[in-house]
């Protein structure tokens, strides 16, 4: 592939030749080789392809065929009832629920709106499902002895609220079919995304196999790093690679400290860093203390670090952890935070500048489908710190457009490391904007992506 007339690092009129997925030559007026494909960049900026360092591929694909049950589409009880009033008799799958819509939902609430078909609704955090009674019957919930995560009322009857049991629900339903990835993958390519880290903590062999199968079939265009547990295996060759061991912390049910430390040590002993899900202050402190006890490994990461007090910044610096943040939530959830979170804690939400100032490597992600899948929206939020209604959140945490872009151009295996560059010897994962970077930087729009290349192959063109 020969890409002609691109702007690279501010230099115009550059041609880029890639062969077998690697950039071989860069310069003006490169001669065309026989049989070579040519792509005219028309003066647009050629950037490294974007990496989304934390997202959920299968959940994103499943979300496409689900009912939105939370803000901004659904804001109150009436709108929720209307959204659920769909014709049909099979399972209804809702996503994105937030208690601001109609409080903490139980099966009795859901039964009032949908009495006659099974419904399951996911909390927007991804950690809880709420089911109605027909769904409870199909899941045989009332027959289930004591599985942790099934909430019960004082009389022992399941309330319909299921914590961290997404995989259990799937296995219970016997649905081992996976949603089709081709549409979401193409959509991501349209944003310039060439790599993703799948943050599912319980990804198993069949899902990894499905990713590889989608790659071979050409349905999945991005390279994928899977987190998962200690036992997950990936094929020796191909586009699926093994990432850190994902460890979930839940303030309501924190694991035994010593067990967590030994899990970390086991991961490290296998040469794998850990990725610790921390959204609250307590989860963060618990995780960092355990990590200090286990002894950190380069590549250990904190996922989200949604609320980071100053004192933790020093501890993070000492342990050498990377933070993978979701600045898009400033835009998408910021208005909710401004009304729900104590004002003295608001500046501690999804910080960016403070991490960089402390020398803490910072990678960016969308956490889609829990956030919107467009990394450019996340970059804009990192630069402007504006909520959907235009309020400011954490204005001391703003980044420059270049710093925001760098959140998504660090290597998949090292979020927060120096950004990849368009240079000879680099893997030809590229994102071409339709205009020069100087013009694009102020707007940071997904629609500026004119073409995307993975391994030198064009996977998207507008």
* By CB under 5 A, residue 300 contacts Zn ion: no
* Residues forming a β-bridge with 242: 226
Whole-number minimum distance, CB 54 to Zn ion, in Å?
A: 6
Of 45-104, binders to Zn ion (CB under 5 A) are none
The residue range among 40-48, 233-241, 365-373, 408-416 that interacts with Zn ion, by the rule CB under 5 A, is: 365-373
Whole-number minimum distance, CB 376 to Zn ion, in Å?
A: 19
Residues 274, 244: Cα–Cα separation, whole Å: 5
Which CB, 227 or 440, lies closer to Zn ion? 227
> What spatial distance separates the first Cα and last Cα of the chain, rounded to whole Å?
18
Closest CA to 292 of 265, 323, 253: 265
Which CB, 199 or 449, lies closer to Zn ion? 199
Residues 223, 211: Cα–Cα separation, whole Å: 10
The residue range among 342-350, 359-367, 378-386, 422-430 that interacts with Zn ion, by the rule CB under 5 A, is: 359-367
Confirm if 307 and 363 have CB atoms less than 8 A apart: no
The residue range among 217-225, 245-253, 268-276, 363-371 that interacts with Zn ion, by the rule CB under 5 A, is: 363-371
* By CB under 5 A, residue 367 contacts Zn ion: yes
Of 199, 288, 290, 381, the one binding Zn ion by CB under 5 A? 199
Which CB, 326 or 452, lies closer to Zn ion? 326
Confirm if 108 and 135 have CB atoms less than 8 A apart: no
Residues 174, 184: Cα–Cα separation, whole Å: 24
Whole-number minimum distance, CB 367 to Zn ion, in Å?
A: 4
Name the DSSP letter for residue 358. Answer: T
Q: In sequence order, what are the residues at sequence separation of 6 or more whose Cβ sits closer than 8 angstroms to the Cβ of residue 312? A: 281, 284, 285, 288
Q: In sequence order, what are the residues at sequence separation of 6 or more whose Cβ sits closer than 8 angstroms to the Cβ of residue 164? A: 127, 128, 149, 248, 250
Whole-number minimum distance, CB 197 to Zn ion, in Å?
A: 10
Confirm if 69 and 86 have CB atoms less than 8 A apart: no
Residues 157, 150: Cα–Cα separation, whole Å: 10
How many residues line the site for Zn ion (CB under 5 A)? 2
The residue range among 104-112, 199-207, 218-226, 256-264 that interacts with Zn ion, by the rule CB under 5 A, is: 199-207
* By CB under 5 A, residue 198 contacts Zn ion: no
The residue range among 69-77, 90-98, 177-185, 361-369 that interacts with Zn ion, by the rule CB under 5 A, is: 361-369
Whole-number minimum distance, CB 214 to Zn ion, in Å?
A: 20
Which CB, 199 or 414, lies closer to Zn ion? 199
Whole-number minimum distance, CB 146 to Zn ion, in Å?
A: 28
Neighbours of 424 (CB within 10 A): 14
Whole-number minimum distance, CB 191 to Zn ion, in Å?
A: 18
Summarize as ranges the residues that interact with Zn ion (CB under 5 A).
199, 367
């Amino acid at each position: 592939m020969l890409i002609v007339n691109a702007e690279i690092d501010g230099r115009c009129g550059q041609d880029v030749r890639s062969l077998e997925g690697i950039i071989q030559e860069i310069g003006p007026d490169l001669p065309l080789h026989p049989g070579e494909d040519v792509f005219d960049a028309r003066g647009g900026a050629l950037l490294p392809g974007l990496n989304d360092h934390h997202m959920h591929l299968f959940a994103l694909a499943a979300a496409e065929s689900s009912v939105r049950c939370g803000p901004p589409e659904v804001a109150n009880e009436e709108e929720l009832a209307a959204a659920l009033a769909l014709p049909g008799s099979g399972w209804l799958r809702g996503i994105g629920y937030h208690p601001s819509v109609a409080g903490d939902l139980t099966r009795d609430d859901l039964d009032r709106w949908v009495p006659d078909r099974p419904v399951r609704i996911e909390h927007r955090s991804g950690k809880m499902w709420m089911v109605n009674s027909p769904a409870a019957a199909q899941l045989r919930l009332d027959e289930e002895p004591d599985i942790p995560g099934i909430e019960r009322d004082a009389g022992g009857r399941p309330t319909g609220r299921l914590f961290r049991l997404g995989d259990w629900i799937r296995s219970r339903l016997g649905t081992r079919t996976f949603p089709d990835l081709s549409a979401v993958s193409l959509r991501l390519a349209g944003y310039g995304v060439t790599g993703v880290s799948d943050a599912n903590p319980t990804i198993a062999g069949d899902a990894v196999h499905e990713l590889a199968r989608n790659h071979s079939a050409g349905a999945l265009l991005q390279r994928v790093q899977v987190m998962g547990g200690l036992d997950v295996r990936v094929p020796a060759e191909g586009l699926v690679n093994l990432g850190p061991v994902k460890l979930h912390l839940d303030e309501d049910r924190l694991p035994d400290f010593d067990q967590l430390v030994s899990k970390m040590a086991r991961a490290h002993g296998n040469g794998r860093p850990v990725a610790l899900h921390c959204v609250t202050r307590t989860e963060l402190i618990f995780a960092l203390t355990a990590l200090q006890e286990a002894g950190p490994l380069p590549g250990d990461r904190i996922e989200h670090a949604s609320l980071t007090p100053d004192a933790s910044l020093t501890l993070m610096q000492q342990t050498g952890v990377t933070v993978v943040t979701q600045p898009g939530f400033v835009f998408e959830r910021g208005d909710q935070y401004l009304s729900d979170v104590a004002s003295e804690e608001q500046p501690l939400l999804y910080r960016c500048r403070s991490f960089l100032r402390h020398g803490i490597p910072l990678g960016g992600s969308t956490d889609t489908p829990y956030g919107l899948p467009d990394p450019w929206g996340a970059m804009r939020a990192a630069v402007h710190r504006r909520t959907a209604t235009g309020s400011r959140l954490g204005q001391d945490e703003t980044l420059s457009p270049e710093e925001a872009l760098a959140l998504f151009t660090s290597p998949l295996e090292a979020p927060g490391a120096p950004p990849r560059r368009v240079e000879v010897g680099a893997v030809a994962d590229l994102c071409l904007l339709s205009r020069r970077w100087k013009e694009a930087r102020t707007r940071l729009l997904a629609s500026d992506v004119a073409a995307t290349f993975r391994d030198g192959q064009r996977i998207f063109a507008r």
